[in-house]
Structure 1
């Protein structure tokens, strides 16, 4: 993936910590991360990490080690431990009830973890054909589960889908619908704070990130703009800025796509998530490592619905 910002010198590890190379592209970036921010290594010597999600009620981070076919958990007191077996889980998130959702490469599905660790498959086919290899996902305020379905995890298996699309799962009857098909390799996905638009990374031949308006019927309009340079996982903060895991590190962009700040990360990051005790820690999965960086902003909260339904 080619970053639209200048190539940065990676941080030099000093034991468990690193002095981060932070480059500001706009003064607004100085309100998001400190110039003297440090990167802490929480775990290393893993295989290929992805899908970090903070579970506030349990004060733990859950993330994937894809080739190891397992989910790991991290807490401040216990560090990283094995958590659950998976079928090459990639992206993870929580639904509106706080249940863990995972995209699984190996099983070509999206699953939900139920009480007592039971697993429910919520998506595995579209138009009676197996999905490719669900990659990343996000939950909208109405409970629909949106996920990307590139071909990265197929390996030597045959693709049944004629495209690599973005889908959503209805919370009422579980219907899987195609949301957008005009991608080469859809990857990271996240919603704006008001859930009126969605960001989607295309990490294939186009190498770009688009912001799309969402209509009242849930369909996507034409992209408002494209940010050149691809990304893997992406997240929105409380102000609507986009935090993107890119080749050179974490790139942060304003709601209208303007570069604000870059944080060099090595190895190349795969995804990120806000969390921690105050919500202002950025956890970063970076190939064989799990990292964290203290930042000055937290995640976008899921807005209340017009019907006033509580989360």
Structure 2
């Protein structure tokens, strides 16, 4: 394990008091493009994707050991944990969203919309009603590096909702160039969605199974946003090319934590949800904070 000095930069008084350890730990190194961290509380481990190597890796919190979780893995990207503690995954290679059951079997949640294969599902969240919401840009079919080169059957990059009971797939947003990370507000009245191509973050009102009133919330000042998560105060933690940015719910950049590599995604974990795990290019970093993930 490698550690280096950490500095939470306060850019706005609303970030004052937010901090944590004085060091960032690199808990793993050796990926080609690390992505999609998810913390499995029942097993006290972190799982993430190493997309070009077509594998998922697992870090054990109790021992600090890293080992394979699944390989091949369908070139998985983003993951989340549903309300039953099951792993929900976006697979670039198989162009689908799946769920890993408690016995290890894999259930296909969705792989088509109106009979056409998805592009390459990227990131996913699960709402309290059991519905699954995910983004579907073309990164995984643009080349053989993060999936399998192919033409888009749908022709556009959209955001989808899968009904948790019927499995019906509907489009909830169709005006993105490359939709990416997404997260619900604490009360699920809002859905935040990144458009990495436009380097901005938008917010929508959640109206049942639809989205309304999409508007620009923030533009990234360091490359582009990617994965996002919220803390219990409703602040948005976003991965960027220089590390992690923290945004107030009104979109103001209020603080940041720099990392030595381009950051792809992040998740809060640990027993108190106060460990911030960050996937960044070849590595996975962790820091204990004094805030808790939502």
TM range (shorter): over 0.9
Q: Does 1:299 align with 2:293?
A: yes
Q: Does 1:59 align with 2:52?
A: no
Asked if structure 2 preserves the Cα contact closer than 8 Å seen for 1:62 and 1:73, the reply is yes
The alpha-carbon deviation at position 117 of structure 1 amounts to 1.6
Q: Does 1:260 align with 2:254?
A: yes
Q: Does 1:186 align with 2:146?
A: no
Asked if structure 2 preserves the Cα contact closer than 8 Å seen for 1:46 and 1:289, the reply is yes
Aligned residue for 2:140, secondary structure, equals coil
- In the other structure, the counterpart of 2:122 is 135
- In the other structure, the counterpart of 2:234 is 240
Q: In structure 1, which of residues 32, 48, 52 is the aligned counterpart of residue 18 of structure 2?
A: 32
Q: 1:102 to 1:275 in 2, by over 3 A?
A: same
Asked if structure 2 preserves the Cα contact closer than 8 Å seen for 1:37 and 1:294, the reply is no
The alpha-carbon deviation at position 294 of structure 1 amounts to 1.6
The alpha-carbon deviation at position 16 of structure 1 amounts to 1.1
Measure the CA separation in 2 of the matches of 1:139 and 1:218: 13
Q: How many residues align?
A: 283
Q: In structure 2, which of residues 26, 30, 38 is the aligned counterpart of residue 41 of structure 1?
A: 26
Alignment of 1:50-129 (within 5 A): 50-76=35-61, 77-85=63-71, 86-129=73-116
Measure the CA separation in 1 of the matches of 2:192 and 2:15: 20
Structure 1 unaligned spans of 5+? 1-14, 301-311
Q: In structure 2, which of residues 153, 158, 179 is the aligned counterpart of residue 160 of structure 1?
A: 153
Q: Does 1:275 align with 2:269?
A: yes
Q: Does 1:219 align with 2:210?
A: yes
Aligned residue for 1:67, secondary structure, equals helix
Structure 1 segments of 4 or more deviating over 6 A? none
Measure the CA separation in 2 of the matches of 1:190 and 1:101: 14
Asked if structure 1 preserves the Cα contact closer than 8 Å seen for 2:274 and 2:290, the reply is yes
The alpha-carbon deviation at position 225 of structure 1 amounts to 3.5
Asked if structure 2 preserves the Cα contact closer than 8 Å seen for 1:108 and 1:131, the reply is yes
The alpha-carbon deviation at position 38 of structure 1 amounts to 1.6
Aligned residue for 1:266, secondary structure, equals coil
Measure the CA separation in 1 of the matches of 2:130 and 2:111: 18
Measure the CA separation in 2 of the matches of 1:212 and 1:21: 32
Structure 2 unaligned spans of 5+? 144-148
Measure the CA separation in 2 of the matches of 1:132 and 1:32: 38
Alignment of 1:18-29 (within 5 A): 18-29=4-15
The alpha-carbon deviation at position 78 of structure 1 amounts to 4.1
Measure the CA separation in 2 of the matches of 1:18 and 1:178: 43
Aligned residue for 2:214, secondary structure, equals coil
Q: Which has the higher strand share?
A: 2
- In the other structure, the counterpart of 1:4 is none
Asked if structure 1 preserves the Cα contact closer than 8 Å seen for 2:200 and 2:216, the reply is no
For residues 68-111 of structure 1, what are the alpha-carbon distances to aligned partners after superposition, in whole Å with 9 as ceiling and x for unaligned? 21211111314211112311000001112111110000111101
For residues 149-175 of structure 1, what are the alpha-carbon distances to aligned partners after superposition, in whole Å with 9 as ceiling and x for unaligned? 000110231110121000011011111
TM-score of the aligned structures, taking structure 2 as reference length: 0.93
